[in-house]
Amino acid sequence: MRRIVTLKERRQLYHLYEQELPLREIADHMGFSERQIRYELGRGFTGQRNEYGRPAYDPVLAHRDYHAKSFRKG
């Protein structure tokens, strides 16, 4: 079962991702599946690339997206 990612965890993900760690390592460190990390990175994708050429991730954007979608679900 997938658990909800908190804003604090999203910020932690941002810092680990910016250190160019492999997604598998980030997932293991945070206690999530690699699939959930990939999904979360897509949720917070800014449409740009970071300085390393990876898709840029914004934890606040991801958090807002989660709440907007959960509100629509009811």
Q: What is the pLDDT of residue 23?
A: 97
Answer whether 47's CB lies under 8 Å from 57's CB. Answer: no
Residue 60 lies in a domain: yes
Cα–Cα distance for residue pair 6/22, rounded to 1 Å: 21
Residue 63 has pLDDT above 70, yes or no: yes
Q: Who's near 32: CB < 8 A, 6+ residues apart?
A: 5, 40
Q: What is the pLDDT of residue 41?
A: 96
Residue range of the domain that includes 16: 7-73
CB burial string 16-49: b at 16+ within 10 A, e below: bbeeeeeeeebbeebebeeeebeebbebbeeeee
Residue 1 lies in a domain: no
User: What pTM does this model have?
Assistant: 0.87
Dump pLDDT digits (tens) for 18-50. Answer: 999 999 999 999 999 999 999 999 999 999 998
When divided into structural domains, the chain yields a total of 1
Residue 37 lies in a domain: yes
Residue 45 lies in a domain: yes
